[in-house]
């Protein structure tokens, strides 16, 4: 049987084929880059449907233990080894605030959070600051200078923020006893927004993500 003839490309055709492959590869890289940098909207999409969504986990080093008061038992059990796994706080409503010392809006927001903490801890709601992309010394100076008394954990990267879909700082998430996100404020939080989020964390009923004030992009 005669051998099948092989398709041969002219030098010009080969160059065109290589050019098309290069263009396709470039477009693929562009699409991947856009998708990789796009914020994860899973949490906000679920909240828009009034559905709770499981909080992304984290295990981070303790930055400060503050003065947890009536919530000392829950906090100390989780922080006993110097690291906190969010799952260890299951059963306690939690407010998570992403912040950094280099973030001016975080500094402006700090008194609101401290006021909210002083009110909420007596109702059994634990505040946890999540410091990110910061040096330990600068973060500690921030906490001490602004007299924040709720506990804080530290992520030297922005990995945790990316998993939570945070597009900048500050951002605040409200977690129910079951470990579900039931509220989210993007940017500096107001007293009213904080009170509403605390109520959602206590009753477990989701509320829409809310636009707050200023924020800074993550580094």
Residue with tokens 């007596």: 122
At residue 195, the pLDDT reads: 98
At residue 15, the pLDDT reads: 55
Classified as helix, coil or strand, 48 is helix
Classified as helix, coil or strand, 198 is helix
pLDDT under 50 in the chain at which residues?
17, 22-36
Among 86, 88, 65, 66, residue whose Cα is nearest residue 77? 88
At residue 33, the pLDDT reads: 38
The answer, as to whether pTM is greater than 0.85, is no
In the chain, where the domains are located: 42-217
At residue 40, the pLDDT reads: 83
Superfamily in which the 42-217 domain is placed by CATH: Glutaredoxin (3.40.30.10)
The conformation of residue 180, written as its DSSP 8-state character, comes to E
């Amino acid at each position: 049987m005669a051998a099948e003839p092989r398709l041969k490309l002219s030098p010009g055709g080969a160059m065109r084929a290589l050019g098309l492959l290069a263009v396709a590869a470039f477009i693929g890289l562009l699409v991947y880059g856009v998708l990789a940098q796009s914020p994860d909207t899973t949490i906000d999409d679920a909240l828009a449907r009034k559905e709770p969504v499981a909080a992304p986990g984290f295990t981070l080093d303790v930055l400060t233990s503050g003065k947890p008061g009536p919530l000392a038992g829950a906090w100390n059990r989780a922080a006993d080894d110097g690291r906190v796994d969010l799952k260890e706080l299951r059963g306690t409503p939690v407010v998570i605030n992403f912040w950094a010392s280099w973030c001016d809006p975080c500094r402006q927001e700090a008194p609101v959070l401290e006021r909210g903490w002083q009110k909420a801890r007596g109702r059994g709601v634990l505040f946890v600051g999540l410091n990110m992309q910061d040096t330990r010394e600068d973060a500690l100076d921030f906490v001490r200078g602004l007299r924040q008394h709720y506990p804080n954990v530290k992520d030297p990267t922005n990995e945790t923020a990316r998993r939570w879909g945070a597009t900048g700082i500050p951002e605040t998430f409200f977690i129910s006893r079951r470990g579900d996100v039931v509220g989210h404020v993007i940017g500096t939080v107001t007293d009213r927004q904080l009170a509403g989020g605390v109520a959602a964390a206590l009753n477990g009923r989701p509320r829409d993500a809310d636009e707050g004030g200023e924020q800074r992009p993550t580094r």
